[in-house]
A and B are shown apart, each in its own frame.
Chain A
């Protein structure tokens, strides 16, 4: 029984004062420095390529040099028969299939190693095993391929033409899925005085995290378990998919994602390489490792973002958008990738194209086209970067037609705060916010009138343009949304485990994976907010199926809402376990205590949570029988009050200069006003925005993976595939609004993708704003100097 003398109480009180100070600095809303950065900044992170195991061998894949071919034969080099593996060697291994339950979806079967047909350049055909990667590549260079090359299906519009060659012959066409929605279109469009049509295209991009993918696979005889370290965003999903492909029960597979150097969607996938490595580790009796190199990333593995839009907007002279008619094609490549499938992108287009705007009629047909290119994955922002671009071009077109300023057209059409929560025309449920205010603040941040004056004064070869983009970002969407798409992964309750250690520390285990989001810090902030334990005593374990409860992983701006909600719930449940012990120590009834700030308290008396832990673990004799038999470890599940997602939103304003003799574009100013609800860590949110904007600038101005008529990718190094870098980043002005979501624990909203969504639209509109007086309007991304110059020269010829 603790003895409370005055000294002790004084000490405890002082500790509590200090704890309150710490809480001010570390709870929800504090810009806590990232816990994980200590190891990253010291070069002590452990990424896949840092992992070595005794007797480990390296893998190199023989990949198809052509886009479309029948395989006549694969000849292993003499003397290396036991070092080279082809499809027939992978006994009992199933191909990857990622289906969608949407009606009419056509299933593709992605072989782990190609069997009879090649469907894109870079498709794995054989795998070679050697002591070093260089030796494995030497062997790979000796493997002889006998391929009967076929004409390639490269362009998505051509792929949809009747009579096109087929990627998958049994289908009869090149359509994974066609969808169609119509919400009162004809009636709303009827009689509209303004009709605008646009044809827009976005480029195929290569998601380019600093660390590529990689896998270290080993068979653990003691545990009778395949242990696979892999650079993934979703370890539990990889486990399910891998188990199915290898025919192993899930308890015999453990997936560990160590430090992961960026994902952005590129690592939200089950890879054939993972299946291959898993199979080989089990059957060769030694660990194997594959590290994706930049050429594999650029030329062989999944791409993203290639859209084609035909839009017709119906508006009135007041600038009101009445109805929108859209036909959208997504180039989904050859295979439906696991788990997001080939149709998620197009399904998203259909449902989110209307953006943050009101309209009375909407019709949208989408096609997910199959071509002889790698499959696609949902890259940061998923389809939103494309639809935001499409919709914002329409807004500018309405401004042109009506003579209204572009900002005025948007202010008239945005959903208003008085309408919140608002169900839009595709039944998206906008949870909260003031969209027009975000736009007004962004305009204010760049000082719109001043730039308009400078624009008017620019008389030389360098023109100035201003562009806007407003969008909302559905994040953390849950069961109801994904069940509708019926893909292999539907998020349900998000779980977290919380365990108090005997010395009063807190261990949290979550099934998501943190690869740049700073979740080791922000989830600790959430737990600190709930229990008040010092943040440095809160340890987050993530990315390991052996240690963490199930989760669909890190994607869709979901972690701060879902894993954050789960951690808060687990901490509350833990507090309910702590309370009776503390109450016993304080000799009061459980109902008379509260658990907060690191203490169990009743009136002015306290006992620390650490003391509660010490008592339960180390001095159980101090507790009566029957108290807290469940212990100080809980797993809790969480769903938001509505699972249709949070809606963060933002307005972006970009100012560009365009050199009309070189086509060079420079970003002169860039402002964002973003509302992510309650920000758990504003510094990390700003970091997310800045990084996202860099990627959005890439989409707008730099990144494109082109394919020639034979389906050959045009770039195989980062010298050819142009990514934006530090020198391409403008000074950013970031403003925040903070309208809490009514449906989440702290009012937080998913915010992780927003930065990447706005720039293509804002920058493209700015370039067109600069060039329109010269008779030029561009309608494809990225906007390259060559494209600008080409259009300018054409316009000059036309006016000459």
Chain B
């Protein structure tokens, strides 16, 4: 379990990182997913470029409408309240239940999104919260709604040389309700069922993760306690009955939390 040979360099700036990545380098931030993949030789990049120290990726900012969290802000920093919250203590609470503290100390919110693991907390939660990905490339920056950011399990639409810069998350409006529930065999383990529910005056959104592919986003009438089940079942006929039941249980409990 030792990685295949690779070179490693730390990018001093965002543009330098983009340049190295354009030339075939692979970005590494906290390394909490990529590290094991390297050791198992599932990933065998020739070049790694560390983006963890690029100050432009480590900052946070906020407006009256949203908060923006740098891609290299760690789960632990969010858990500890070092990033602004969107309200109802949602971001710290989600962060606090990601894996273990040792992982949270190094793992980053942007790394989690770019890795695009279907069972990752941020993937499901931020989809439900209507977050946007802010990307940077020498050719220009993009703002991508998160449901257009993921293209499949472990796949995003980042282009070669493009870096996820930050995540912008709308603040909760006073009428908004959010609930999140995941089912794990033990704390810190990957969830085998997860659902996030977001309800406001104008939006109803249910996101169901841990499906082995990109999370399922249900909107409108399908994102109601009664509407979810038929919508979910019709879109997941490949899943076994038990998995479907557990996912629907997660949805029910997420609704319950949103109502609480």
Contact = CB atoms under 8 A, between A and B. Distances in A.
Interface of A: 132-134, 137-138, 141, 293-295, 661-664, 702, 716-717, 719, 722, 724-725, 727-728, 784-786, 789-790, 793
Interface residues of B, number: 24
A790 to B, nearest CB: 5
Given A724-B186, A727-B188, A789 B246 contact: yes
A395 B238 CA distance: 41
B185 A785 contact: yes
B96 to A, nearest CB: 14
Interface string B157-177: 000000000000000000000
B1 A294 contact: yes
Contacts of B186: 702, 722, 724-725, 727-728
Contacts of B3: 134
Contact of B246 (A719, A725, A728, A785): A785
B192 A295 contact: no
21 contacts: A132-B2, A134-B2, A134-B5, A138-B4, A138-B5, A141-B41, A294-B1, A661-B252, A664-B185, A722-B186, A722-B189, A724-B186, A725-B186, A725-B188, A727-B187, A727-B188, A728-B186, A785-B192, A786-B242, A790-B241, A793-B242
B190 interface: yes
A416 B243 CA distance: 48
| Top-7 shortest CB links A-B | A134-B2, A293-B1, A661-B249, A789-B242, A727-B187, A790-B242, A137-B2
A639 B1 CA distance: 45
B40 A295 contact: yes
Contacts of B242: 663, 786, 789-790, 793
B245 interface: yes
Nearest to A794: B241
A141 B42 CA distance: 13
B119 to A, nearest CB: 11
Contacts of B185: 664, 702, 722, 784-785
Contacts of A137: 2, 4, 41
Contacts of A664: 183, 185
A727 to B, nearest CB: 5
B57 to A, nearest CB: 26
Interface in B210-260: 241-243, 245-246, 249, 252
A141 B1 contact: no
A790 B246 CA distance: 10
Interface string B37-50: 00011000000000
A295 B1 contact: yes
B36 interface: yes
A141 B4 CA distance: 9
Given A294-B1, A793-B245, A716 B40 contact: yes
A717 B245 contact: no
Nearest to B100: A725
Interface in B1-15: 1-5
Nearest to B193: A662
Contacts of B252: 661
B210 to A, nearest CB: 13
A663 B241 CA distance: 13
Contacts of A662: 183, 193, 246, 249
A224 to B, nearest CB: 34
Nearest to B183: A662
B36 A717 contact: yes
Contact of A663 (B1, B4, B187, B246): B246
Contacts of A786: 192, 242-243, 246
A138 B44 CA distance: 12
A30 to B, nearest CB: 37
A585 to B, nearest CB: 61
A379 B47 CA distance: 43
Contacts of A728: 186
Contact of B245 (A138, A295, A789): A789
Interface in B182-209: 183, 185-190, 192-193
* Secondary structure type dominating chain B contacts: loop
Given A134-B5, A793-B241, 18 more contacts: A134-B2, A134-B3, A137-B2, A138-B5, A294-B1, A295-B1, A295-B40, A662-B246, A662-B249, A663-B246, A725-B188, A727-B186, A727-B187, A785-B183, A785-B185, A785-B192, A790-B242, A793-B242
Contacts of A141: 4, 41
A661 B181 CA distance: 13
B246 to A, nearest CB: 6
A650 to B, nearest CB: 26
A719 B40 contact: no
Nearest to A790: B242
Contacts of A793: 241-242, 245
A661 B244 CA distance: 11
A138 B242 CA distance: 42
Contacts of B5: 134, 138
Greatest chain B CB density within 10 A among A295, A661, A725, A790 is at A661
A661 B41 CA distance: 38
Contacts of B2: 132-134, 137
Nearest to B252: A661
A784 B36 CA distance: 26
A756 B2 CA distance: 33
A728 B3 CA distance: 32
Greatest chain A CB density within 10 A among B4, B41, B185, B246 is at B185
Nearest to A702: B185
A132 B243 CA distance: 44
A783 to B, nearest CB: 11
A53 to B, nearest CB: 20
A134 B4 CA distance: 7
A48 to B, nearest CB: 16
Nearest to A728: B186
A141 B40 CA distance: 12
A786 B210 CA distance: 15
Greatest chain A CB density within 10 A among B2, B40, B187 is at B2
A156 B245 CA distance: 32
Nearest to A791: B242
A141 B44 CA distance: 12
A663 B184 CA distance: 10
A252 B5 CA distance: 39
B190 A717 contact: no
A519 to B, nearest CB: 32
Contacts of A722: 185-186, 189
A320 to B, nearest CB: 40
Contacts of B241: 790, 793
A728 B246 CA distance: 21
Given A295-B1, A785-B185, A719 B249 contact: no
Nearest to A716: B40
Contacts of A132: 2
A516 B41 CA distance: 33
Contacts of A295: 1, 40
A492 to B, nearest CB: 41
Contacts of B245: 661, 789, 793
B17 to A, nearest CB: 26
Contacts of B187: 727
Contacts of B41: 137, 141
A728 B187 CA distance: 9
A134 B188 CA distance: 29
Nearest to A664: B183
Contacts of B188: 725, 727
Contacts of A294: 1
A790 B241 CA distance: 8
A137 B5 CA distance: 10
Contacts of B1: 293-295
B21 to A, nearest CB: 24
Interface string B140-152: 0000000000000
B203 to A, nearest CB: 27
Nearest to A663: B246
B207 to A, nearest CB: 19
